[in-house]
Structure 1
Amino acid sequence: MQAPSTVVQLALLVLLVLPGITYQFVRERRRGPVPGERDLGERVLRAIVASIALDAAYAIVAGPALVRLAKAEAEFLAARVAGATVLTGRDATREAVLDALPSAGWVHFACHGYSDPANPSDSHLVLHGQAPLRVVDVSRLRLSGAQFAYLSACDTARTTETLSDEAIHPAAAFQIAGFAQVVGTLWRVDDAVAPSLTQQIYTDLLSSGADTAAAAVHRTIRALRDRYPNLPSLWAAHVHFGA
């Protein structure tokens, strides 16, 4: 097995095998080590296989719940924004989103996000169907009526150690397209916390106007930080771009 050559590759390898390593550890603690399984390469392979199985099980079990959470975000906003165009389920395709963006002053995405460290322009939001909404797709747009975009997804403002001073991610793409204010995330967000955080930000934002989006995000994050000071992973990922 070739050793990882970068920090990103090493981190991806750790994330890939961590569930399987945990499984192997618990398994050996319960029944003891097996002489034929002491080879490091074989144990890593077993950890990877176990990780794939565990990740697949998580997707099957948690998938419907995550869809319900995203739908709850859409329903919350639709009830508070008159005339909102709502695209959920089979309606939320790349083509439908691109068609709707030119007439939208505010946009909100509640979906999965994917960051591609090797090719940041291919980072994207996962929509229904086979075609995602990529950074390059959004950055090519010129939206004169754009005002505010909220990307409630993982890694929408993530950079890499090789491009740490360059902003190539979905949040930046929406700014390039014309959105003066964008809310994104620096890393993977907690699926249970994100909808509640979204509701609090919009409750503040809709009561004070779009020109205070930065303040709305700041106040909401500060309140969550005060409540969970030792858990920055819950509140520190969300950031505001623009003015």
Structure 2
Amino acid sequence: MVGEYGLALELLERGRSASWSQLLGLRVSLDGVRAVDVALADKMCDIAKILQFTGAQHDYASAPNESAYAREEMAGNRHRLLVNEWNNSVEEVRKLPGCERFLFPKTVDELMLAAEDGPVVVITPVGRRTNVLILLPGKDLGIRAKKSRLGSLDPWDETDDWVEKDRAEALFEDMLSELWYKVVRPIFDAIAIAVRSNPPDVVQDRIFWCPTGELSLLPLHAAGDYTRAERGHKIYDFVVSSYIPTISSLLNAQRTSNTAAAPRILAVAVAQPTGQVHIGGTKQEIQYLRSHFPDNEDKRFEEVLENNATRESVLHSMRDASWVHFACHGVQDVSQPTKSALLLTGTEEIMLENLIQIDLPQAEFAFLSACQTATGSDTLPEDSIHIAAGMLMAGYKGVIGTIWSVFDRDAPDVARDVYGYLLRKKEGAPDYKDAAMALHLAVEGLRERVGTKAYLSWVPFIHIGS
């Protein structure tokens, strides 16, 4: 890569998703350290667990008559000691052979490895210009897209009043068209994806989108000219799209699967937590999943449903599961994104901050069939903080989520078709890396049923990760 592009990529990756940086540092794989110094690896693992689970808020033992201030000061001092111990341990690791760059920011050569499964496209809006860096397998390239002013994701943004359906549809189509002609097609030209009137019957090429700023709120996976009915004018005619919050997160997700055995699957369903409307399709989703395990003799499938779906029980079951499916309500907290949550029985919930604190050694794939699980915050567009990204950071390698609310009638059909594809093989273990293609085909089927212009039905579903 030309030096300036490589430096730009390194700096962008360092600044990207700043809110995740410390957590990712604590969750780093210690396998390389353990191969050289088992005792040091175990020590760091213990420190990391304490820092992850408690931070500065740990309720350390204190005398009954101590003031709240004294207890807080003690907790803070203990936390600082642990942080210092962690930092000292990191320095010890860097003295070990082969570990000299442990926890250093990744170099451009390391970041380039993320493109092993397909182009990685980092898009940064700068004023009216869109800058693009593209990573290709074994190659590198930097381009600048045409100057453009992109539309808004929300067709109702331009007014406080409700917009008529036809007008809203037209605004949305304009935005998708701008994404297609001013962002996606120039990128396709740069990486030699031929946009033609006779696209392949079976789309197999993958592309990984890493948008920043306002573009992280826009549905690049749905870009296209929807005034033209024929094939060859929409992004999904040519590639299978996935999103990533950072390049490093993709590299982490691409690590070898934890096990070659068939996955253990956990299904969680809560139709109506306290204060929420009833979701009509949760039972149907679980039935579709259950149908793939008619006898379940090997206990590969577990259900945690309705009143049994407490935070404690769900988190406990997640530790043993490699795949997890949530059919429930999700809520996005735009003011405090880490408080965004999956709603369980009664008033219980699993917040984003809970997900990034738990240890999930078997984690591979998560399907969040809930509303707003991959909705970013317009106040923190650079941080990609949402529940689906939290699942990725917690150790899952691939995640299906939604960027806004979905219809009850659509979610069961998408879940049925996704698992129908993932669990189609009679022999051999299902592969979580098939999830992107599974969703691509499931949404294609949904479009055929509801119509291409039923954007609110099919656009929300996205794949994140490897």
Paired position in structure 2 for 1:220 = 442
Q: Distance in 1 between matches of 2:406 and 2:309?
A: 21
1:94 Cα deviation after fit? 0.7
Looking at structure 1, the residues matched to 336 and 368 of structure 2 have their Cα atoms a distance apart, in angstroms, of 20
What aligned pairs does 1:11-90 form with structure 2 within 5 A after superposition?
A: 63-64=277-278, 66=279, 68-81=280-293, 82=296, 83=299, 84-90=301-307
Q: Does 1:242 align with 2:465?
A: yes
Q: Which residue of 1 aligns with 2:409?
A: 192
Task: Establish whether residue 160 from structure 1 lines up as the match of residue 384 from structure 2.
Answer: no
* Alpha-carbon distance, 1:226 to partner: 4.3
The 1-side partners of 2:421 and 2:318 are apart by 24
Deviating more after overlay: 91-100 vs 220-229 = 220-229
The answer on whether the counterparts of 2:355 and 2:390 sit within 8 Å (CA) in structure 1 is: yes
Say if 2:332 is the partner of 1:120: no
Counterpart of 1:234 in 2: which secondary structure?
A: helix
Q: Cα 1:224–1:71, aligned 2, differ >3 Å: closer, same or farther?
A: closer
For the residue of structure 1 that corresponds to 2:303, the secondary structure is coil
* Contact 1:114/1:125 (8 A) holds in 2: yes
Q: Counterpart in 2 of 1:173?
A: 390
| Aligned pairs, number | 190
Mark the structure with the bigger radius of gyration. Answer: 2
Query: How much does 1:63 deviate?
Result: 4.3
SS of equivalent to 2:447:
helix
Q: In structure 2, what residue type is equivalent to 1:217?
A: L
Whole-Å Cα distance in 2 between the matches of residues 102 and 203 of structure 1? 25
SS at match of 1:159: coil
Give deviations 1:194-225, integer Å, cap 9, x for gaps. Answer: 11111111111111532211111111212323
Structure 1 unaligned residues grouped into runs of 5+: 1-7, 19-58
Structure 2 residue 441 is matched with structure 1 residue 229: no
Mapped partners of 1:63, 1:161: distance in 2? 26
Q: Residue 146 of structure 1: CA displacement?
A: 0.5
Deviations 1:182-205 (A, max 9, x none): 100000111111111111111111
CA distance in 2, matches of 1:236, 1:63: 22
2:377, 2:385 within 8 Å by CA — same for their partners in 1?
Answer: no
Contact 2:414–2:439 at 8 Å: present in 1 too?
no
Structure 2 Cα separation of the partners of residues 204 and 103 of structure 1: 23
Q: 1:80 to 1:128 in 2, by over 3 A?
A: same
Equivalent residue, structure 2, for 1:132:
349
Opposite residue 464 of structure 2, the aligned amino acid is F
Aligned to 2:434, the other structure's residue is in SS state: helix
* 1:71–1:88 CA contact under 8 A, matched in 2: no
TM-score by length of 1: 0.71
Task: State the shift of 1:160 in Å.
Answer: 1.9
Q: Distance in 1 between matches of 2:312 and 2:346?
A: 10
Unaligned 5+ residue runs, structure 2? 1-153, 163-272
Amino acid of the residue matched to residue 292 of structure 2?
A: R
Counterparts of 2:281 and 2:441, CA distance in 1 = 23
The 5 Å alignment of 1:77-116 reads 77-81=289-293, 82=296, 83=299, 84-116=301-333
**CA apart distance, 1:179:** 0.6
Point out the structure with the larger helix share.
Answer: 1
Identity of aligned residues (%): 34
The alignment's TM-score, normalised by the length of structure 2, stands at 0.38
